[in-house]
């Protein structure tokens, strides 16, 4: 790699520019609250569809409860990872429309990936691990996954990667005509 770069000065400069741009974008995203996004900031929770814990335990399966309410993580390569059919994705906890199929892309991480969300229904907040950004349904506060930015994908703005658990969303295919 080093010899390849040193023998191609133009490639080296492009590579450096890419690294610089990526680094700058990441820093900007983390430090500036005005970054373009359709996510709701952590200090503007809705929570209007949240219910008490006993009701969640009745409403959800044990695995759904683990993912949605205990912030668990599905195994990779679940049933929705490679689904790109037309349709819509709804919160598995409260039924809120979160994503459209047009927002989904093959991000390659093993979990369903979306580059945007329906405005105002996905809230982002610092993860307890101190480094990632958690995303939850803004209406029922259920854990969806995490959002990542500045990774070099070429989707339209906001060009995010919403890394979402299969269990956190219900896919409803578009009606066949």
Instruction: Return the number of the residue (35 or 133) whose C-beta is nearest Zn ion.
Output: 133
> CA-CA distance, 145 to 122, in Å (whole number)?
10
Q: Is position 163 annotated as part of the catalytic site?
A: yes
Give min distance, CB of 96 to Zn ion, in A: 5
Site string for Zn ion, 85-124 (x = CB under 5 A): ------x-xx-x----------------------------
Sheet of strand 122-126: strand arrangement = 104-105, 113-114, 161-164, 143-148, 133-137, 122-126
Contacts for 18-23: CB closer than 8 Å, 24+ residues apart: 18/152, 22/150, 22/151, 22/152
Give min distance, CB of 150 to Zn ion, in A: 27
Report DSSP letters for 117-131, one per residue. Answer: --TTSEEEEE-TTSS
Question: Which part of the chain contacts Zn ion (CB under 5 A), choosing from 20-28, 106-114, 135-143, 160-168?
Answer: 135-143
> CA-CA distance, 113 to 145, in Å (whole number)?
10
Query: Does residue 137 interact with Zn ion by CB under 5 A?
Result: yes
Question: Which part of the chain contacts Zn ion (CB under 5 A), choosing from 7-15, 82-90, 134-142, 167-175?
Answer: 134-142
Give min distance, CB of 174 to Zn ion, in A: 21
Query: Does residue 60 interact with Zn ion by CB under 5 A?
Result: no
Instruction: Return the number of the residue (73 or 159) whose C-beta is nearest Zn ion.
Output: 73
Q: Contacts with Zn ion: how many residues (CB under 5 A)?
A: 8
**Residues of the shown chain interacting with Zn ion in the complex, contacts defined by CB under 5 A:** 91, 93-94, 96, 137, 139-140, 142
The catalytic site residues sit at 163
């Amino acid at each position: 790699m080093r010899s390849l770069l040193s023998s191609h000065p133009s490639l080296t400069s492009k590579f450096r520019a890419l690294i610089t741009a990526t680094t700058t974008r990441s820093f900007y995203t983390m430090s500036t609250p005005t970054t373009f996004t359709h996510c709701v900031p952590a200090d503007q929770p809705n929570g209007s569809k949240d219910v008490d814990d006993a009701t969640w335990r009745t409403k959800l399966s044990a695995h759904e409860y683990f993912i949605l309410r205990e912030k668990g993580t599905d195994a990779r390569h679940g049933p929705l990872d490679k689904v790109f059919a037309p349709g819509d994705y709804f919160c598995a906890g409260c039924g809120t429309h979160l994503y459209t199929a047009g927002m989904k892309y093959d991000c390659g991480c093993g979990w369903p990936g979306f580059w945007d969300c329906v405005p105002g229904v996905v809230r982002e907040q610092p993860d307890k691990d101190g480094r990632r950004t958690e995303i939850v349904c803004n209406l029922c506060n259920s854990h969806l996954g995490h959002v990542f930015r500045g990774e070099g994908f070429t989707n339209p703005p906001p060009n995010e990667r919403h890394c979402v658990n299969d269990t956190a969303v219900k896919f409803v295919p578009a009606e066949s005509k």
